[in-house]
Amino acid sequence: MEERVEIVVPEGIAVKIDNNKVVLSKDNNELEEKFVVPKLKIVSGQGKILVTLDYKNKRERAVLNTIKSKIQNMIKGLLDGYTAECEVIYSHFPMTVTKKDDFVEIVNFLGGKKILRSKIVGKTNVKIDGKRILVSGISKEDVGQTAANMEKTTRVRFKDRRVYSDGIYIVKKAS
């Protein structure tokens, strides 16, 4: 069986497709994604992207919807962008959070002397405003991963989390 999905591309977004590699660009911003799926064909024209997949079962059909969602997320990112919000919470030792190059540095986590570093993924912007951290960018995956990296870096291990609630937590996911 063959399934087709049509995605409408708004005006102002340039589409380039080469060997199942989709490149969308607008105003010096560019997002690209390579889809390595057997029997997949992606074609663009007349302000639309047509994704065709020859599938045998529902698992392969689900891949088609995933590809559709990824392309729609790329379009939304170029038009509006994504923002995630994190919050610095501490009850025992005050933490200091700063941005340096491609990392977010956390000092004095649980009173430790070690400086923790969390990677900023892709072209993501991190703005630190007191206890609030805003993570923004055009790629939903990069924004979400950057926020998750900060949360994972400050995960409390080997202690009771009900008592030691210190850390950086995602308050609002990338949307």
**In a shared domain, residues 71 and 99:** no
91 and 73 in a single domain? The answer is no
128 in the same domain as 66: no
Co-location of 107 and 160 in the same domain: yes
Asked if the model's pLDDT at residue 1 lies above 80, the reply is: no
**Is the domain of 16 the same as that of 59?**
yes
Residue ending a domain, among 79, 108, 141, is: 79
Same domain, residue pair 67 and 103: no
CATH number, domain of 50, equals 3.90.930.12
What predicted TM-score, i.e. pTM, was given to this entire model?
0.89
Mean per-residue pLDDT for 34-57?
89
| pLDDT tens per residue, range 58-73 | 888 889 999 999 999 9
For all residues of the chain together, what is the average pLDDT? 92
Total domains in the fold of the chain: 2
C-alpha 76/C-alpha 48 separation (Å) is: 15
CB 150 within 8 A of CB 133: yes
Q: Write out the H or E segment, with its range, that includes residue 25.
A: strand 21-26
pLDDT for 57 beyond 90: no
Residue 117: per-residue pLDDT: 97
Give the pLDDT of residue 144.
Answer: 96
Q: Which amino acid is at 71?
A: I
- Report the C-alpha gap between 147 and 21 in whole angstroms: 27
Domain boundary among 36, 52, 79: 79
Greater confidence (135 vs 160) lies with: 135
pLDDT in tens, 98-150: 999 999 999 999 899 999 999 999 999 999 999 999 999 999 999 999 999 99
| Same domain assignment for residues 95 and 161 | yes
Question: Same domain for 6 and 33?
Answer: yes
Residue holding tokens 């919050």? 87
* 132 and 71 inside one domain: no
Among the candidates 33, 62, 79, a domain finishes at 79
Residues 11 and 75 in one domain: yes
- Write out the residue range of the structural domain in which residue 20 sits: 2-79
CA distances from 104 to 76, 88, 118 (A): 26, 12, 5
Residue range 82-110: average pLDDT?
A: 94
- What's the confidence (pLDDT) of residue 165? 87
